[in-house]
Amino acid sequence: RVYVGCPSNRHIRVRDRHTDCSGHYDYDVDVWGCPASVYWGTEGYRPIVDLYDGDTFVRELTAEFVLWEVGGRRGDFTYNISECNAGCVSKSLRWDDAIARNQSDPYAAWTPSDHRSCFDADGPAQDKCYAYEVLGGPGNSGIVFKINGDGLFFFRLRVVDPECSYCDLETRFVLNVFGAPVDPLLALFVCGVVLLVA
Q: What is the pLDDT of residue 159?
A: 95
Beta carbons within 10 angstroms of residue 170's beta carbon: 17
Which residue type occupies 106? P
Per-residue model confidence as pLDDT tens digits over 125-164? 877 889 999 999 888 899 999 877 789 999 999 999 988 8
Q: What is the pLDDT of residue 136?
A: 92
Angstrom distance (rounded) from CA 92 to CA 81:
13
Q: What is the pLDDT of residue 42?
A: 87
Angstrom distance (rounded) from CA 136 to CA 48:
9
H helix intervals, 4-71: 29-32
**Which uninterrupted H or E stretch holds 153?**
strand 151-159
Beta carbons within 10 angstroms of residue 33's beta carbon: 22
Q: What is the pLDDT of residue 183?
A: 64
- Looking from the CA of 119 toward its CB, the CA atoms found within 13 Å total 12
Angstrom distance (rounded) from CA 57 to CA 11:
10
The model's confidence at residue 105, banded by pLDDT at 50, 70 and 90, is confident
Distance of CA 54 to the CA centre of its chain: 23
Among the listed residues 131, 127, 128, the one whose alpha carbon sits nearest the alpha carbon of residue 80: 131
Per-residue model confidence as pLDDT tens digits over 24-76? 889 999 899 999 989 998 889 999 999 999 999 999 999 999 999 998 898 89
Q: What is the pLDDT of residue 144?
A: 93
* pTM of the predicted protein model: 0.85
Mean pLDDT of the chain: 86
The model's confidence at residue 171, banded by pLDDT at 50, 70 and 90, is very high
Q: What is the pLDDT of residue 126?
A: 79
More confident residue, 197 or 75: 75
- Residues 6 or more apart whose Cβ sits within 8 Å of residue 156: 67, 68, 70, 107, 170, 171, 172
